[in-house]
Amino acid sequence: MSDYFGVFGLPRKLQVDLDALQRRFYELSRRHHPDFHQGAGAEAQAQALEASALVNRAYRTLRDPVARVEYLIALEEGRELREETTVKPEVPRNLLAEMLEVQEALEEATSGGLTAETMGRLRSERQRLEDRRRAEEAALIAGATEWDAAVDAGQAREPLLGRFKQRLAARAYLSTVIDDLTQALGEDEGSHVAHRRH
């Protein structure tokens, strides 16, 4: 079975034309969706189900620039069979000092209760981290050009992969802390999402 890039007939590159991807997704859906195989035998139906599920997963991953990078790393490291990207959250070195401040604000909120002041502080910390996360994502997306150029030129890509992983780890860490802050603010009701693997 081919990988997600292969499903869409794409090279393993990070710059993707989203309009073309969507058109191709609709085409593939029309070909494989179980709705159009209702009259077929049991085996053909099972195949349609599997093919359709693969197309849907591939589209979900490739349309999102960050998920695309995560998947690419898994592919390059030969982990695609696991369908799992275990990038461990890691605190960005240049953020260590700020993280201590965030921890302090969190502790204050836990021990001293949610005063207007602590809430304000938690919110502004969260804002800063969200900006920072966006910056990491922007950098990841910007790295796509470099990656694609390296693929075209047949150059070594390992250093790039290493940098992607660092950024993903930083991003995962930021997300965890942002979630903690949201939870401390009591704003997570109903919208809190269970621990994600993807």
Partner 1 sequence: MSRIVGIDLGTTNSLVAYVDGAGVPRVIPDAEGRRLLPSIVAYTPAGVVVGEAARRQLARNPARTVYSVKRFMGRGWEDVREEVRHVPFEIVPSAEVVRIRAGDREVTPPEISAQILLALKLQAEAHLGEPVERAVITVPAYFNDAQRQATKDAGRIAGLEVLRIVNEPTAASLAYGLQKLAQGVIAVYDLGGGTFDISILRVKDGVFEVLATNGNTHLGGDDFDRAVVQWLLEDIRAAHGADLSKDPEALQELRLGAEAAKCRLSSEERTALTIPFERFTYRREITRGELEGLIGSLVDATLDPCRMALKDAGLATDAIDEIVLVGGSTRVPLVRQRVGELFGKSPHSQLNPDEVVALGAAVQAQILAGGITHMLLLDVTPLSLGIETLGGIVSVLIPRNTTIPTMAKEYFTTSVDGQTAVDMHVLQGERELAKDNRSLARFVLEGVDPMPAGMPKIEVTFLIDANGILQVQARELRSGKAASIEVKPAYGLSEAQVAQMVEDSFTYAEADVNARLLIETKTEAETVMNHVRRALKQGGHLVSPEELHTIAAAVDALLAVECGSDRDAIRERTIDLNKATEPLAEAMMDAAIRGAVTSKRADQILEQK
Q: How far apart are CA 23 and CA 39, in angstroms?
A: 26
Contact letters (x/-) for partner 1, 178-197, by CB under 8 A? ------------xxxxxxxx
**Binding residues among 43-72 for partner 1 as defined by CB under 8 A:** 49-50, 52-54, 56-57, 59-60
Q: Does 40 bind partner 1 (CB under 8 A)?
A: no
Per CB under 8 A, the list member of 15, 18, 35, 107 interacting with partner 1 is: 35
Element at 137 (helix H, strand E): helix 116-153
Three-state SS string over 35-48 comes to HHHCCCCHHHHHHH
Q: Cβ of residue 32: shortest distance to partner 1, in angstroms?
A: 9
Q: How far apart are CA 126 and CA 145, in angstroms?
A: 30
Q: Does 88 bind partner 1 (CB under 8 A)?
A: no
Per CB under 8 A, the list member of 18, 82, 152, 186 interacting with partner 1 is: 82
Nearer to partner 1, 86 or 115 (CB): 86
Q: Cβ of residue 70: shortest distance to partner 1, in angstroms?
A: 14
Unique residue bearing structure tokens 């969200």? 130
Q: How far apart are CA 112 and CA 120, in angstroms?
A: 14
**Number of other CB atoms surrounding residue 118 within 10 Å:** 19
Q: Does 77 bind partner 1 (CB under 8 A)?
A: no
Q: How far apart are CA 37 and CA 56, in angstroms?
A: 17
Interface residue list for partner 1 (CB under 8 A): 22, 26, 29-30, 33-36, 38-39, 49-50, 52-54, 56-57, 59-60, 82-83, 190-198
